[in-house]
C-alpha cells in the first residue's frame, strides 16, 4: 500500500483502536442517524445480484453488508486500517456473507483495481481525510464502469435554527459522551466537530459537486439528511 498522507495517518491512528466498539457507539453518538444514512447511501446504488460494488473506507463493513442485503450483489470492501478490517471480517462472518464480501487493505488515492472494474462504488466519511479531493474522486470514478453509480456519505453542517444546536452538541455533547465511553472515544468526540467544519470551509457542498462532475460523473445529486447533519452525493459515471 502507498505511504499514508498526514490526514490519512491521523484518521487511521484515531479510529484503529475502536474497531470492536465502533458500530455500537457511532450509532449512539450520532443519535441513531448513522445507520439510516448508510441505508440511504446504499439505496442510491443501482446494482443487481450479478453486479459488483467497491466499498471504499469500508471500516467495519456496515455499508458492504447493507449492499448485499439490499441488492444481493458481490462487494469488495477496501480500507487502510487492518484493525478495522479485522472487525469487518468478524461482522461479515457473523452475517454469513463471506462468500459475497471480499476485504482488501488499501487507500482511496491509489486503488489496486483496473479501469471500469466495478458496476458501482460507495464510500463513507472519506473526503475529509484525503490531501487531494479532486484527484481522489477521479481515482474512485476510474474504477467504475461507464453508466455505473458512485455514491458517498459525509457529515454535514445544519443550517438555520439547527446550527446552534449542532454546535452545542459537537462542542460539548460529543466530547463529554465520548469521555464516558473511553479515552479513544473522547478523542473522536473532540476531533469530529473541527474536522467537519474544516471540510465545509475548504470544500462547500457546491464545490464538492463540481469536483464530482470534473471527475467524470453525470447527473450528480445531493440529499441532505437529518436536518443537514449528514448528506449523500451520488452520480453516474459518464
Q: Given this model, what pLDDT does residue 142 score? A: 98
Q: Which domains does the chain have, with CATH numbers?
A: 6-158+204-237 (3.40.50.150)
Cα(37)–Cα(236) distance, rounded to whole angstroms?
20
CB-based contacts of 20-25 (< 8 A; 24+ apart in sequence):
20/87, 21/181, 21/182, 21/185, 22/59, 22/60, 22/84, 22/87, 23/60, 23/62, 23/91, 25/181, 25/185
Q: H or E stretch including 81?
A: none
Q: Given this model, what pLDDT does residue 209 score? A: 98
213 and 23 in contact (C-beta within 8 Å)?
Answer: no
Q: Given this model, what pLDDT does residue 169 score? A: 79
Q: Given this model, what pLDDT does residue 30 score? A: 74
Closest CA to 140 of 126, 158, 156, 121: 121
Backbone angles phi, psi at 19, to 5 degrees: -50, -50
Question: What is the full DSSP assignment across 82-113?
Answer: HHHHHHHHHHHHHHT-TTTEEEEE--TTS-SS
Q: Given this model, what pLDDT does residue 168 score? A: 86
User: Which of the residues in the chain have pLDDT under 70?
Assistant: 1-29, 176-186, 188-189
Q: Given this model, what pLDDT does residue 1 score? A: 46
Q: Given this model, what pLDDT does residue 27 score? A: 64
Q: Given this model, what pLDDT does residue 2 score? A: 47
Q: Given this model, what pLDDT does residue 186 score? A: 63
Q: Given this model, what pLDDT does residue 134 score? A: 97
128 and 195 in contact (C-beta within 8 Å)?
Answer: yes
The strand ranges marked E within 163-229 are 217-225
Amino acid at each position: 500500500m502507498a505511504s499514508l498522507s498526514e490526514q490519512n495517518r491521523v484518521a487511521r491512528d484515531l479510529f484503529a483502536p475502536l474497531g470492536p466498539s465502533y458500530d455500537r457507539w457511532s450509532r449512539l453518538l450520532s443519535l441513531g442517524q448513522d445507520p439510516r444514512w448508510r441505508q440511504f447511501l446504499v439505496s442510491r446504488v443501482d446494482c443487481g445480484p450479478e453486479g459488483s460494488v467497491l466499498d471504499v473506507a469500508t471500516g467495519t463493513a456496515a455499508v458492504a453488508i447493507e449492499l448485499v442485503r439490499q441488492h444481493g450483489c458481490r462487494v469488495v470492501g477496501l480500507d487502510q486500517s487492518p484493525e478495522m478490517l479485522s472487525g469487518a471480517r468478524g461482522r461479515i462472518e457473523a452475517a454469513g456473507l463471506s462468500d459475497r464480501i471480499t476485504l482488501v487493505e488499501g487507500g482511496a488515492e491509489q486503488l489496486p483495481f483496473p479501469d471500469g472494474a466495478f458496476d458501482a462504488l460507495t464510500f463513507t466519511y472519506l473526503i475529509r481525510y484525503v490531501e487531494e479531493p479532486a484527484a481522489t474522486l477521479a481515482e474512485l470514478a476510474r474504477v467504475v464502469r461507464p453508466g455505473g453509480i458512485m455514491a458517498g456519505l459525509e457529515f454535514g453542517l445544519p443550517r438555520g435554527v439547527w446550527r446552534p444546536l449542532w454546535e452545542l452538541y459537537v462542542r460539548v455533547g460529543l466530547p463529554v459522551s465520548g469521555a464516558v465511553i473511553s479515552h479513544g472515544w473522547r478523542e473522536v468526540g473532540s476531533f469530529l466537530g473541527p474536522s467537519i467544519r474544516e471540510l465545509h470551509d475548504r470544500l462547500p457542498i457546491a464545490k464538492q459537486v463540481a469536483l464530482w462532475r470534473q471527475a467524470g460523473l453525470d447527473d450528480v445529486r445531493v440529499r441532505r439528511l437529518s436536518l443537514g447533519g449528514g448528506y449523500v452525493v451520488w452520480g453516474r459515471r459518464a
